[in-house]
Chain A
Amino acid sequence: MNFSKKELSIFIEIVFSILFAIFFLPNFYENRLGTYDFNSTIKYIIQIVIFSIIYFSLAYTILEIFIKRKLINDERDVLIDLKSYKLGYILYEISLFSFIGVILSVAIFDSQMYQNNGGLVFMIIVWLLIVSFIKSVYQLYLYRTS
């Protein structure tokens, strides 16, 4: 299977989503039943930022070494970006309304659980990860089929 440079860069983003889920999601999953400690969040954010910088620097450097052809962003790329961002936007909208629904139902039916924000933080991160993953996979699908 022959992938173009653009398709490989999208694949790098997909792999990042998967690695993020493997390495960082367990931390948020462990705190999902309790009140989230925002002081320890800074430690996670620093870890995530450092991991992201190292991962993307390495991945794109390797990509540049092996594929020397320059990346052209032409009208087909713009069209595919628009289609994939449209899907991402719709999914974010659905996520937002779902999230508001969950917050309201939790607030109404279980006010004690409302104080335990670990679950809400975990839910937000999972949704964002899923939406980002679906958007990238759809973008890759469009590149392969159009």
Chain B
Amino acid sequence: MILKNILREVRQKKKLTQEELGDSVGVSRQTIISIETYRYKPTLELAMKLSMKLNCKIDKLFYFEKD
């Protein structure tokens, strides 16, 4: 099972840039890019911060997809 997310879609709906989102949760723009392209799995703390910032439930923001 692969961990995926809808971070990009939710971020764009909120009209936030990657840098703005990164600054608001304390990570770099590169980290946001890596999360959106599924190359990096965030820690629970970062996932919660993203969920709170984007006002989207964490289990909706991140989901498992079968191989």
Total contacting residues, chain A, CB less than 8 A: 10
Q: Is A72 interfacial (CB 8 A cutoff)?
A: yes
Chain B residues with Cβ below 8 Å from A6 are 28, 30
Chain A residues with Cβ below 8 Å from B39 are 145-146
Q: Is A75 interfacial (CB 8 A cutoff)?
A: yes
Closest to A2 in B: B30
Q: Is the CB of A75 within 8 A of B43?
A: yes
Q: Is the CB of A72 within 8 A of B40?
A: no
Contact A72 to B26, CB < 8 A, known contacts A145-B39, A146-B39, A146-B40: yes
Chain A residues with Cβ below 8 Å from B43 are 75
Q: Is the CB of B34 within 8 A of A76?
A: yes
Interface residues of B in 9-45 (CB under 8 A from A): 22, 26-31, 34, 39-40, 42-43, 45
Closest to A77 in B: B28
What's the minimum C-beta distance from B48 to chain A, rounded to whole angstroms? 13
Chain B residues with Cβ below 8 Å from A111 are none
Chain A residues with Cβ below 8 Å from B28 are 4, 6, 72, 74, 76-77
- State the 7 A-B residue pairs at the shortest beta-carbon distance, nearest first: A74-B27, A72-B28, A76-B31, A4-B30, A146-B39, A74-B31, A75-B43
Q: B residues bordering A, Cβ < 8 Å?
A: 22, 26-31, 34, 39-40, 42-43, 45-46
